[in-house]
Structure 1
Amino acid sequence: MTKQIQFFDTTLRDGEQTIGVNFNVEQKNAIAKQLENWGVDVIEAGFPVASKEDFDAVQAVARAVKKVRVTGLARARKGDIDACVKATADAAHKQIHVFIATSPIHRDSKLHMTKAQAIDSITEHVTYAHKFFDIVEFSPEDATRTEPDFLVDSIQAAIDAGATVINIPDTVGYTNPVEFAALFKNLRENIPAFDDITFSVHCHDDLGMAVANSLASIENGATRIEGTINGIGERAGNAALEEVAVAMYVRKDYYDAENNINMKETKKTSDMISDYAKMPVPHNKAVVGANAFAHESGIHQDGMLKNPQTYEILTPESVGAAKTSLPLGKLSGSHAVMDKLNEMGFSVDREAMKAIFPVFKDCADHTDIVSEEDLTRIMSQIHATNEVSA
């Protein structure tokens, strides 16, 4: 049976923790509506207890969207939970996300708690949250650096207290796909209700493996992926949800999983986040970068002109991007140059290219990209030379 994978977007919460990023309420509303159009299942709209502005933003988003589920983040504290209750009161669909750190370094250095105290806090606060929310998501922060046995104990305590979603955060981007698989194997073997619980993952990109770890979790029992658009977020950021979505789309043969993402809204969603965050998308960024569907190498261009599938596993149209481009530079071959000249209205065949291509190469050696103006100048030069020769 094909799995259904939920997408949990935390662009408005963890994404806003990116240094220098500060979305206003109007922008958060617009982002939330676009995320709903894109097809996410859950929007983490903020951390309501953090500030009045954050509370107001969560409340505004809760009122603005109708199909997607809205959540606020809460530490294992009753005041945090109360703020989430109030902020999401008007949401058509809602849940809460409660967390407490469980790793030794966090228990000892940050919380100054024993294991027993951490378990007591999980039980107390998940139970309290469950009074107000049918869906309570619990996260053992820094799960991937938590002792395997204690991770099981923490999760079981949350389930016993009423949690129906368990999120496994790789809070500092520490783990790798093989270790993530082992973590899930341990949970499956030791959590009796594993198949009745929605298991989620929240991966950070400190070692560049957030998307790979998220995809590995799908193979090993997770049915919800948390992340952000363009991978923005704390430090090196989060799993880029558009990359996870496209990997599932292109490799559906491997992952055998579905989701509700409207792929054609991907580029529009990415552009909105880039604009509001004032963070340009790197040109070489997968899926949404300016170079994602551009080919300059002569070998690649020749292949693309003969059959686009030689070098393109995903069409730009499928993610709402502009058409494939074949920018002309010093690595371009005569086939691409001839094709471009004919597209511009010049009648050029392979015989003509014997004279044109050396002039093109000389031009390309002295510029980054050969423009249409450059090509027009080259053709004028060739034409003038032919007239003189005649």
Structure 2
Amino acid sequence: MSVQKIQIFDTTLRDGEQVPGCKLDMDEKLVIARQLELLGVDVIEAGFPISSPGDFEAVKAIAAQTKQATVCGLSRAVEQDILTAAEALKGARFPRIHTGIGTSDSHIKFKLRTTQEKVLERAVEAVKLAKKYVEDVEFYAEDAGRTDNEFLARVCEAVIKAGATVLNIPDTTGYCLPEEYGAKIKYLVENVNGVDRVRLSTHCHNDLGLATANSIAGVINGARQIECTINGVGERAGNTALEEVVMILRQHPYLNLDTNINTKLLTETSAMVSQMMRMPVQANKAIVGSNAFSHSSGIHQDGVIKHRETYEIIDPKDVGVNDSSIVLTARSGRAALAYRLQKLGYDFDKATLDKAYASFLQIADRKKEVVDEDLHQLVEQENLIAAN
């Protein structure tokens, strides 16, 4: 079976930037957009043009500089939103308007204060209007995760007829379990007339820590685009993390699903976004956290030194990290100490290593981590002599 490509729709500059304290200026947005294109994302959601003059100008500038990726602008199912997005995207080589409306009972009753039929009408009108300005129109059914499947299918079918090219099925509140979200995508694949002419898209939030799992469940069941952000930044608990879904698909080739992402740029891109958004990446973050390829337990260190795959399912070089890190602590064993000493040019026989290890443990009990300078001092103070 041939490998099917999953498009990566990056919304770091739109959904990601909605995080309090993560505001980017124009220059920062342009730098990140260039990096995203270099990374290989298929779609860059550059912003929400109607939201402010600054966002309009940013979308316009990103549209003008981007050569390979589709540039997308968000809008509500509101005429002026769509017209403003179309204007901002005029300079894009591959423009896309992303428009939509809430479809769950909660959104219809409490947010929109309308009816299902009115929502259906507005959805169709929005897509038809956007279609007058761009060929590529993505429709989002906000809070699709909590929307009745039968009504959701009606909306999807109607917007396909109106000209939508991509259907975004967001788990806006991060409520779904993976099996529920996967089943929802499967239901649409099997029950929406014309679904074979469009691309289904996942857009999952991480309120219950399930954004990545839900996105993977979505593509396994027929979605062919994942909406995500670098480092999983986004409102509340964040969005699906780009680096996670990309590497899951890459590490599970039997799924026959992959992306166009240059994974060797993942760590570099993560650091750039973290620095510009002033949003630190937690140390134990999958793929790009500082501890993702670090080992401090003696058992783990011994295994990794003997054969990296013993405790690492990803080669760090594949995501732009030079090497695994052997961190010396009081939990480290002789193998790790010998490994680090050899890196520093010291090669001891067993008896000398045993003496060094006893002194090492005393240092390690006083410090959280033993660094190279400590090892040099240990060798000098103990007058240790390297083996011939």
Identity over aligned pairs, percent: 45
Deviates more, 1:180-189 or 1:85-94: 180-189
Equivalent residues in 2 for 1:314-325 (5 A)?
314-325=314-325
Give the conservation status (yes or no) of the 8 Å contact 2:77–2:126: yes
| 2:232 aligned partner | 231
Deviations 1:106-151 (A, max 9, x none): 1111101101110111111111111111111001100010111111
| 1:340 aligned partner | 340
Aligned with 2:366: secondary structure?
A: coil
Give the conservation status (yes or no) of the 8 Å contact 2:141–2:170: yes
| 1:192 aligned partner | 193
Structure 2 Cα separation of the partners of residues 315 and 31 of structure 1: 25
Deviates more, 1:259-268 or 1:349-358: 349-358
Q: Return the offset for 1:382.
A: 2.3
Deviates more, 1:188-197 or 1:328-337: 188-197
Task: Kindly indicate whether residue 155 of structure 2 is the aligned counterpart of residue 154 of structure 1.
Answer: yes
| 1:291 aligned partner | 291
Equivalent residues in 2 for 1:253-272 (5 A)?
253=254, 255-272=255-272
Question: For residue 249 of structure 1, what is the amino acid of its counterpart?
Answer: R
Deviations 1:172-195 (A, max 9, x none): 101011001211222122112222
Deviations 1:148-182 (A, max 9, x none): 11111111111111111101000010101100121
| 2:171 aligned partner | 170
Structure 1 Cα separation of the partners of residues 256 and 161 of structure 2: 31
Deviations 1:60-97 (A, max 9, x none): 00001110000100100110000011000000111110
Q: Return the offset for 1:354.
A: 2.0
Give the conservation status (yes or no) of the 8 Å contact 2:160–2:195: no
Q: Return the offset for 1:289.
A: 0.8
Structure 1 Cα separation of the partners of residues 270 and 260 of structure 2: 17
Structure 1 Cα separation of the partners of residues 374 and 68 of structure 2: 51
Aligned with 1:365: secondary structure?
A: helix
Deviates more, 1:155-164 or 1:83-92: 155-164
Structure 2 Cα separation of the partners of residues 277 and 294 of structure 1: 25
Structure 2 Cα separation of the partners of residues 113 and 139 of structure 1: 18
Give the conservation status (yes or no) of the 8 Å contact 2:157–2:195: no
**C-alpha RMSD of the superposition:** 1.2
| 2:356 aligned partner | 356
Question: For residue 227 of structure 1, what is the amino acid of its counterpart?
Answer: C
| 2:103 aligned partner | 102
Equivalent residues in 2 for 1:1-390 (5 A)?
1-253=2-254, 255-383=255-383
Structure 1 Cα separation of the partners of residues 3 and 365 of structure 2: 52
Q: Return the offset for 1:3.
A: 1.2
Deviations 1:2-25 (A, max 9, x none): 211000000000000011111111
Aligned with 2:245: secondary structure?
A: helix
Give the conservation status (yes or no) of the 8 Å contact 1:202–1:226: yes
Deviations 1:231-288 (A, max 9, x none): 00110110000111111111122x2112110111111111110011011111111111
Deviates more, 1:77-86 or 1:191-200: 191-200
Question: For residue 316 of structure 1, what is the amino acid of its counterpart?
Answer: P
Unpaired segments ≥5 residues, structure 2: none
Q: Return the offset for 1:196.
A: 2.1
Structure 2 Cα separation of the partners of residues 107 and 203 of structure 1: 20
Structure 2 Cα separation of the partners of residues 347 and 103 of structure 1: 66
Aligned with 1:268: secondary structure?
A: helix
Aligned with 2:381: secondary structure?
A: helix
Aligned with 1:49: secondary structure?
A: helix
Q: Return the offset for 1:314.
A: 1.0
Q: Return the offset for 1:343.
A: 2.0
Question: For residue 336 of structure 1, what is the amino acid of its counterpart?
Answer: A
Q: Return the offset for 1:99.
A: 1.1
Aligned with 1:274: secondary structure?
A: helix
Q: Normalising to structure 1: TM-score of the pair?
A: 0.96
Deviation beyond 4 Å, 4+ runs, structure 1 = none
Aligned with 1:383: secondary structure?
A: coil
Deviations 1:355-385 (A, max 9, x none): 221221121111100112221222233228x
Q: Return the offset for 1:327.
A: 0.9
Deviates more, 1:267-276 or 1:189-198: 189-198
Structure 2 Cα separation of the partners of residues 226 and 96 of structure 1: 15
Aligned with 1:44: secondary structure?
A: strand
Aligned with 2:382: secondary structure?
A: helix
Give the conservation status (yes or no) of the 8 Å contact 1:294–1:325: yes
Structure 2 Cα separation of the partners of residues 359 and 72 of structure 1: 61
Give the conservation status (yes or no) of the 8 Å contact 1:32–1:43: yes
Give the conservation status (yes or no) of the 8 Å contact 2:329–2:369: yes
Structure 2 Cα separation of the partners of residues 17 and 51 of structure 1: 13
Structure 1 Cα separation of the partners of residues 3 and 344 of structure 2: 48
Question: For residue 331 of structure 1, what is the amino acid of its counterpart?
Answer: R
Give the conservation status (yes or no) of the 8 Å contact 1:338–1:349: no
Question: For residue 234 of structure 1, what is the amino acid of its counterpart?
Answer: E
Aligned with 1:201: secondary structure?
A: strand
Question: For residue 174 of structure 1, what is the amino acid of its counterpart?
Answer: Y
Structure 2 Cα separation of the partners of residues 8 and 74 of structure 1: 16
Give the conservation status (yes or no) of the 8 Å contact 1:268–1:320: yes
